[in-house]
């Protein structure tokens, strides 16, 4: 819902914590997040890309005398137990007590890692999520999932630890590259497939591709790409993209916080997508892997006879419009990808469960709590056609 007296800020109050979406909201942190003033000390966890851009503003707003800043290297390769240990040791060395607050300032990697630090430090202290990438705003910062990666796969060690608030300042999107914006649009398209066909089409129309210019990530990994998005999206459209995804994801999390049923639908594209990320050693961005995963998993659903076949070309066109790839990397075998899905958190009794669409705007498998087991041969055939 819109905040009183303002058309520029949307506040979602579906969850126990508020989600603020708007331009310039970082400057109002203390007035919109009471937990800041309740904290005796504040640990701002960021990375070496985001820190120089926004850490000073956040520290000045919170109060420099209370802040300890911990900076990590950027990228998924650093979302590890080793980084978790280093950050936790830094907080201990600074003697932060249980009346402290962790502030996660950055993209999804920082949000996941800082959230896990907060979940485990002194058996749990509050965390405030300040996402600065489109992907983190529309997805990673919402829902309380925290964690780190291991050599066996992505997000295999973690905890549910909801934030005290999420504050998404749309002004931070101005410093993103076109590829980073495209990556966020992948998760937004996912939400549209899951729950809202109208929103899906609005996101697709927001993605404008410059044909023939391959992104660095997909080119190096042999992934077919539609090009790099020009991302000439007006501020009002960014607000619609972010607030639309926030509303969809918040409603799902509100209905099923611990992923026992409906929340599994948020994993659409992620079983294959996470396998690709792991096999490619996180050299290809999350959104690009999820885009490929959504296409592959749509083909799986069609092969099983539970999905309208018309979804595949519609989804492919939308992904291309957002400059996202739809084909599996030429550098990987389909057998390796299927093998890598075996380490997924959704594996049950040795069979991997998938979140699969029924049609644009609706997911299949309500009678099975949205986790659909799929045999290896069906997945292999779907990937071979991708």
Q: Is 181 a catalytic residue?
A: no
259 is catalytic: yes
Query: Does the active-site annotation cover 152?
Result: no
270 catalytic, yes or no? Answer: yes
Tell me the sheet residues that pair with 87. none
Contacts for 100 with CB less than 8 Å, ≥ 6 apart = 39, 40, 41, 42, 43, 91, 125
CA torsion, ordered 285, 288, 290, 292, to nearest 10 deg: -140
Strand ranges inside the chain, DSSP E: 9-12, 18-22, 41-47, 67-72, 100-106, 127-131, 145-150, 153-160, 165-169, 209-210, 228-229, 347-348, 351-354, 357-359, 362-363, 372-373
Catalytic residue among 20, 145, 181, 345: 145
Marked catalytic residue, from 263, 264, 278, 345: 263
| 123 has catalytic annotation | yes
> Which residue among the candidates 267, 288, 297, 299 is catalytic per the annotation?
267
The C-alpha atoms of residue 101 and residue 103 are separated, in whole angstroms, by: 6
274 classed as catalytic: yes
Residue written as token pair 């109060």: 63
Select which of 79, 154, 270, 278 is catalytic: 270
Cα–Cα distance measured from residue 246 to residue 289, given in angstroms and rounded to the nearest whole number: 21
Check 76, 259, 277, 297 and give the catalytic one: 259
Q: What is 66-115 written as a DSSP string?
A: GEEEEEE-SSGGG-BHHHHHHHHHHHHHTT--TTEEEEEEESHHHHHHHH
267 is catalytic: yes
Residue 350, class by beta-carbon neighbours within 10 Å (0-12 exposed, 13-18 middle, 19+ buried)? exposed
Of 264, 274, 299, 346, the catalytic one is 274
Residue 145 is a catalytic residue: yes
Q: Which of 187, 277, 288, 353 is catalytic?
A: 187
Catalytic residues: 123, 145, 187, 249, 259, 263, 267, 270, 274, 286
């Amino acid at each position: 819902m819109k905040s009183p007296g303002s058309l520029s800020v949307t506040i979602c109050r579906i969850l126990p914590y508020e989600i603020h979406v708007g331009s310039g909201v970082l400057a109002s942190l203390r007035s919109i997040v009471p937990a800041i003033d309740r904290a005796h000390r504040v640990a701002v966890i960021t990375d070496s890309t985001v820190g120089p851009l926004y850490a000073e503003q956040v520290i000045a707003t919170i109060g420099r005398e209370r802040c300890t800043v911990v900076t990590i290297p950027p990228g998924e390769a650093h979302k590890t137990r080793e980084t978790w240990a280093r950050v936790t040791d830094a907080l201990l060395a600074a003697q932060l007590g249980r009346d402290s607050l962790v502030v996660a300032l950055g993209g999804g990697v920082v949000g996941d890692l800082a959230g896990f630090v907060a979940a485990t430090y002194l058996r749990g202290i509050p965390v405030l999520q300040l996402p600065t990438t489109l992907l983190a705003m529309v997805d990673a910062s919402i829902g309380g999932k925290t964690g780190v990666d291991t050599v066996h796969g992505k997000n295999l060690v973690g905890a549910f630890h909801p934030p005290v608030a999420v504050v998404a300042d749309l002004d931070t999107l101005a410093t993103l590259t076109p590829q980073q914006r495209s990556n966020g649009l992948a998760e937004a398209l996912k939400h549209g497939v899951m729950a809202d066909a109208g929103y899906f089409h609005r996101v697709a129309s927001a993605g404008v591709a410059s044909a023939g210019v391959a992104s660095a990530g997909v080119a190096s990994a042999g992934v077919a790409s539609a090009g790099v998005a020009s991302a000439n999206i007006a501020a009002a459209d960014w607000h619609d993209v972010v607030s639309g995804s926030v509303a969809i994801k918040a409603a799902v999390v509100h209905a099923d916080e611990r992923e026992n049923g409906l929340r599994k639908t948020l994993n659409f594209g992620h079983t294959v997508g996470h396998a690709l990320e792991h096999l490619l050693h996180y050299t290809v961005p999350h959104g690009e892997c999820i885009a490929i995963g959504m296409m592959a998993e749509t083909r799986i659903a069609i092969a099983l006879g539970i999905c309208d076949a018309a979804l595949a070309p519609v989804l492919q066109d939308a992904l291309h419009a957002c400059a996202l790839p739809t084909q599996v990397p030429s550098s990987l075998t389909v057998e390796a990808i299927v093998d890598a899905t075996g380490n997924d958190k959704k594996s049950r009794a040795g069979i991997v469960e998938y979140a699969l669409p029924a049609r644009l705007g609706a997911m299949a498998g309500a009678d099975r709590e949205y986790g659909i087991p799929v045999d290896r041969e069906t997945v292999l055939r779907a990937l071979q056609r991708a």
